[in-house]
Amino acid sequence: MWCGLCDAAMKPALLSTLIRFYGCTNPPCPRPLIEADLLEALAWQAFRYLFAEPGTKISEPERHLVLQHFLERVTVGADLGGMRYRWRDVP
């Protein structure tokens, strides 16, 4: 994940609430933390929409491997509607 506001990497963080978030690594950046499950679900939906065969079932653990293989970079814009994806290989 990359921050579209300042082009810095975003790193995962686990808060005391045990909820995972991504946060920008650039301290002056105004981007708030974003819930990791939400960002990851949006990336998975983008992959399914563009590349998956209808009706294909992929388990939760396999999703991570599929995205690792095909997804090079996700840039989060000013809001979640501005997410951009760079794909390594088209299946």
Asked if residue 85 has pLDDT above 90, the reply is yes
Q: What percent of the chain has pLDDT over 70?
A: 98
* Measured distance CA(35)–CA(67) in Å, rounded: 18
With cut-offs at 50, 70 and 90, classify the pLDDT of residue 90. low
Domain count, the chain: 1
> pTM of the prediction?
0.84
What domain range includes position 25?
A: 2-87
- pLDDT tens figures, 6-49: 999 999 999 888 999 999 999 999 999 999 999 999 999 999 99
What per-residue confidence (pLDDT) applies to 27? 95
Cα Rg of the chain, angstroms = 14
